[in-house]
């Protein structure tokens, strides 16, 4: 919930022509709902994609104050963040609700970015021990192989969100690896390799290079460090 409409549009204007081609790097900004339509208009045909920060699991109806996934798609939005730690903490969103939102987003042509923290569990199959991310099991429950390939998962350890204390690259990579293993357990290795996994949690210009060198980290979900256009571009061109 940062920036008014004018500030958000100005941000897009400052960065949209300074980005790598979309086939080299996918770059997106999530804005408050009020700002999305003018942000999409300003982004135009540039490589920059505009995302929503949240949506509801119904297309329409008596759900005052919520945002329709159908309406987002019609407005030119193609990605939505779901299950962010702040939504879970401040608004008591459950895994069941997030699962409904994921399915509603996919039904309406939106690609969900599903956030999960470091709630881990262990499952023993025969003599083999599998570490699983229980939250992921719940959030993507019931998705088909094709649907899960349109989902991006963001690993954001709760202790690193907004604290300035990022996980070190090895910790971040381990979390992303465990998520990929969980997806592999559910859908197989081929599907797991197609699912993109991001790291989020106090990402800065100082640590992004070390994070992106890790095999299982496909990208980053950046918070405070992305609010300044110059810093945002530094992160993009790391």
Enzyme catalytic residues: 84, 156
DSSP secondary structure letters along 152-199: EEEE--GGGTTSS-PPPHHHHHHHHHHHHHHHHHHH-HHHHHHS-EEE
Q: How crowded is the C-beta side of 113, counted as CA atoms within 13 Å?
A: 27
Q: How crowded is the C-beta side of 236, counted as CA atoms within 13 Å?
A: 24
Burial class (CB in 10 A: 0-12, 13-18, 19+), 209: exposed
SS3 content of the chain, % helix, strand, coil (to 5): 40, 20, 40
Cα 55 from Cα 43, distance rounded (Å): 21
Cα 148 from Cα 123, distance rounded (Å): 22
Cα 168 from Cα 171, distance rounded (Å): 5
| Integer angstrom CA distances of residue 126 from 185, 187, 188 | 14, 19, 18
Please name which of 140, 141, 176 lies closest in space to residue 157, comparing C-alpha atoms.
Answer: 176
């Amino acid at each position: 919930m940062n920036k008014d409409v004018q500030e958000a549009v100005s941000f897009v204007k400052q960065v949209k022509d300074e980005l790598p081609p979309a086939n080299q790097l996918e770059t997106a900004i999530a804005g408050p709902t009020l700002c999305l339509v003018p942000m999409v208009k300003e982004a135009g045909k540039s490589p920059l994609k505009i995302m929503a920060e949240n949506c509801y699991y119904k297309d329409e109806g008596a759900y005052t104050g919520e945002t329709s996934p159908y309406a987002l798609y019609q407005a030119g939005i193609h990605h939505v963040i779901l299950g962010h730690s702040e939504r879970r903490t401040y608004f008591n969103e459950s895994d069941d609700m997030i699962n409904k939102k994921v399915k509603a987003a996919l039904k309406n042509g939106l690609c969900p970015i599903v956030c999960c923290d470091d709630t881990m569990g262990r499952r023993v199959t025969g003599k083999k021990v599998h570490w699983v991310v229980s939250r992921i099991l719940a959030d993507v429950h019931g998705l088909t192989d094709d649907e899960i390939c349109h989902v991006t998962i963001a690993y954001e350890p709760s202790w690193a969100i907004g604290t300035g204390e990022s996980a070190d690259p090895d910790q971040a990579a381990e979390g992303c690896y465990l998520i990929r293993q969980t997806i592999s357990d559910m859908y197989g290795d081929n599907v797991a390799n197609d699912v993109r996994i991001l790291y989020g949690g106090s990402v800065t210009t100082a640590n992004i290079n070390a994070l992106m060198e890790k095999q299982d980290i496909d990208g980053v979900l950046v918070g405070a460090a992305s609010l300044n256009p110059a810093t945002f571009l530094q992160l993009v061109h790391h």
